[in-house]
Amino acid sequence: MKIVTILGARPQFIKAGTVSRKLLEHAEIEEIIIHTGQHYDANMSDVFFDEMKIPKPHYFLGIGGKSHGAMTGQMIEKIEEVILKEQPDWIMVYGDTNSTLAGALVASKLHIKLAHIEAGLRSFNMQMPEEINRILTDRISNILFCPTDSAIQNLENEGYNKFNCKIIKSGDVMQDGALFYSELAVKPNIDLNDKFILSTIHRAENTDDIHKLSAIIAALNEIHKSCQIVLPIHPRTRNIIAENNIQIDFKTIEPVGYLEMVWLIKNSKLIMTDSGGLQKEAFFFEKPCITLREQTEWVELIDHQFNILVGSDKQKILDTYNGATFNNDFSINLYGGGKACDNIINELLSYE
Ligand code: UDP
Quick: pLDDT tens for 26-56.
999 999 999 999 998 899 999 999 999 999 9
Q: Do domains 2-172+336-350 and 196-323 have the same CATH topology?
A: yes
Residue-averaged pLDDT of the chain: 97
Pick from 52, 94, 123, 200 the residue to mutate for probing ligand 1's pocket: most ligand atoms within 8 Å of its CB. Answer: 200
pLDDT at site 67: 92
Q: Are 94 and 58 in contact (CB under 8 A)?
A: no
Catalytic residue among 202, 211, 224, 234: 202
Residue 161's CB is within 10 A of a number of other CB atoms, namely 10
Nearest Cα to Cα of residue 119 among 337, 297, 283, 281? 297
- Per the rule left: phi > 0, alpha: psi between -120 and 50, beta: everything else, 56 is beta
Domain ranges across the chain: 2-172+336-350, 196-323
pLDDT at site 259: 97
Question: Which backbone phi and psi does 47 adopt, to 5 degrees?
Answer: -55, -35
Task: Supply the residue whose CA is at minimum distance from atom 10 of ligand 1.
Answer: 278
pLDDT at site 251: 84
Which atom of ligand 1 is the closest one to the Cα of 200? 5
User: 283: CA distance to ligand 1 center in Å?
Assistant: 14
Whether 288 lines ligand 1, by a CB cut-off of 6 Å, is no
Give pLDDT tens digits for 54-111: 999 999 999 988 999 999 999 999 999 999 999 999 999 999 999 999 999 999 999 9
Cα end-to-end span (Å), the chain: 13
Q: Is 211 a catalytic residue?
A: no
Q: Are 93 and 116 in contact (CB under 8 A)?
A: yes
pLDDT at site 352: 86
User: 40: CA distance to ligand 1 center in Å?
Assistant: 14
- What architecture is domain 2-172+336-350? 3-Layer(aba) Sandwich (3.40)
Which atom of ligand 1 is the closest one to the Cα of 257? 7
pLDDT at 16 exceeding the cut of 90: yes
Give pLDDT tens digits for 259-297: 999 999 999 999 999 999 999 999 999 999 999 999 999
Whether 258 lines ligand 1, by a CB cut-off of 6 Å, is yes
- What architecture is domain 196-323? 3-Layer(aba) Sandwich (3.40)
